[in-house]
Every structure is written in C-alpha cells, then in structure tokens.
C-alpha cells in the first residue's frame, strides 16, 4: 500500500497553570458564545514548535514562563471540516505573582479559572487539561516543579500549599518541613521575613537548584514524594 504524504495543519496550544488562594488555576481565552479554549496559535513559517508556544504565552501574559514543557501531540481526531490538523500541546507553570497583573488580552478576552470550575471548552481541550494536570502531579515527586509556582523568595507554608493543592490532600506541617530541611534544597534567607495581614511573620527561603541537581543525579527516584 502507498500513502499520500500530504501536509498537515499544525497547531500549538498551551496549558498555563498557576496556584493562588490555595487553588489550581488555568488560563483560558474566550472564543465567544460561552465557549472557551486554551491559548493557542499556528507556528509561523520556520518557527520551531517550542518557540511558538513561548510566543503564545508572551502574547497573553507579557511574560516569559520559567517552566515550559511539551505535553502531548493530539492528532487522532478529524474535525468536522475534514481537514487534517494536529495539536501539539505544551504546559507552563506561572508563579501566582505574575497572575496578579493585568491580563494582556489582545483582541480576545482571557481569564484564569479554577481547574475544578472550568467552563465549556472547545473540542479536545478538556482532554488536554486533564493530561496536563495528571502530568503535573506525576512530576511533583521526582522533579522540582513545585518551586516553579513560587516567587524567588517564599515561606515554607507557601511551599507546602503548592504540594497540597497539586496532590489534593493535606500534609503534616512538621513532617513536610523536616523532609525539606533534611534534603537541604531550601535555604533560609537570614533576617528576611514576610508579614501578612495577620499572624507571625514567616521566614523567607530560597530554592537551591545546585543541591537539588546533586540529589537528582543520584537517581534516587521520588525524593519529594509526600
């Protein structure tokens, strides 16, 4: 059998995720009629896929995502108009601070939704979100993705919230802190504190990528499993 080669329309879509107010948030753009979609677009001529994803993020948020990774390529559905098209999906993690700024919507409106309160999405995008969420949870135990959702300086309580939201369960404060401390992947910023509206001021910390790398290279598997 021979097969007609034929070119195919390629589309890049990005699942932008953040955690704020103890909830997992996902950015969607309105496509009218109460229907929403993941930020997406066509790669320009000669533009590498990953750069197209970066551009889509920049166009929406005006910032660069620190963490951007390919998720999956969806190519098994044939849309109504009979044209072939595949979607290469990426996911990116955005610190909550960046989410406070004004959204640079361009012509279309964009909004952050709680991941468990998503509106109706265009065909296939709900699946993409599901896969992204699953991947995020999976990566939490053996990579440092959790830190990508935090600003450079953070409290241990904030870090713990990240883990709790992604894992969907509460963790014991003392056990959590002991493990983080013993791993040594976090460093106290001597004298730097953040005081919220209430309660005692929190010691600020910094992530230590060097230490994390060392541990990771020991191929220990799921350090950071809770």
Partner DNA sequence: TCAAAAGTGTTCTCGATACACCCATGC
Partner DNA sequence: GCATGGGTGTATCGAGAACACTTTTGA
Helix, strand, or coil here: 78? coil
152 to 72, 86, 128, 172, 212: CA distances (angstroms): 29, 36, 29, 24, 15
200 lines the binding site for DNA (CB under 7 A): yes
In this structure, the number of other CB atoms found within 10 A of the CB of residue 158 comes to 18
**DSSP-derived pairing of the beta strands 202-207 and 186-194:** antiparallel
Q: Which is nearer to a copy of itself, 139 or 205 (CB)?
A: 139
Residue 157 interaction partner, one of a copy of itself, DNA, none, beta carbon < 5-8 Å per kind: DNA
- Provide, rounded to whole angstroms, the least separation between the CB of residue 144 and a copy of itself: 16
Residue 62 CA to residue 73 CA, distance in Å, equals 25
60 to 40, 120, 194, 221: CA distances (angstroms): 10, 20, 30, 36
CA neighbours closer than 13 Å in the CB half-sphere of residue 110: 23
Residue 206 CA to residue 155 CA, distance in Å, equals 9
Per-residue binding string, DNA, 54-73, x by CB under 7 A, is --------------------
Rg of the chain taking only CA atoms, in angstroms: 20
Q: Which is nearer to DNA, 18 or 161 (CB)?
A: 161
Residues that bind a copy of itself (CB under 8 A): 3-10, 41-51, 70, 72-73, 75-78, 82, 84, 86, 88, 141, 221-222, 225
105-164 positions binding DNA, by CB under 7 A: 155-157
Residue 156 interaction partner, one of a copy of itself, DNA, none, beta carbon < 5-8 Å per kind: DNA
Where does this chain touch DNA (CB under 7 A) — which range of 19-27, 36-44, 73-81, 199-207? 199-207
Q: Which is nearer to DNA, 50 or 155 (CB)?
A: 155
168-197 positions binding DNA, by CB under 7 A: 172-175, 177-179, 193, 195-197
Give residues in contact with DNA (CB under 7 A): 155-157, 172-175, 177-179, 193, 195-203, 225-226
């Amino acid at each position: 059998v021979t097969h007609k080669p034929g070119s195919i329309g390629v589309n890049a879509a990005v699942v932008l995720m953040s955690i704020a107010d103890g909830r997992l948030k996902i950015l969607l753009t309105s496509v009218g009629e109460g229907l929403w979609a993941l930020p997406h677009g066509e790669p320009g001529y000669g533009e590498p896929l990953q750069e197209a994803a970066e551009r889509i993020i920049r166009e929406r948020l005006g910032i660069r995502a620190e963490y951007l990774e390919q998720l999956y390529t969806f190519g098994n559905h044939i849309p109504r108009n009979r044209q072939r098209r595949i979607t290469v999906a990426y996911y990116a993690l955005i610190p909550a601070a960046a989410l406070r700024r004004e959204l640079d919507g361009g012509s279309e409106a964009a909004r952050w939704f709680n991941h468990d309160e998503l509106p109706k999405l265009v065909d296939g995008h709900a699946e993409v979100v599901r896969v992204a969420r699953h991947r995020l949870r999976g990566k939490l135990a053996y990579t440092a993705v959790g830190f990508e959702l935090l600003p450079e300086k953070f409290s241990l309580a904030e870090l713990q919230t990240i883990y709790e939201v992604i894992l969907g369960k509460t963790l014991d404060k003392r056990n959590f802190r002991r493990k983080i401390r013993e791993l040594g992947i976090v460093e106290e910023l001597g004298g730097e504190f953040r005081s919220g509206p209430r309660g005692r001021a929190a010691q600020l910390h910094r992530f230590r990528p060097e230490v994390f790398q060392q541990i990771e290279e020991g191929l220990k598997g799921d350090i950071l499993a809770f």
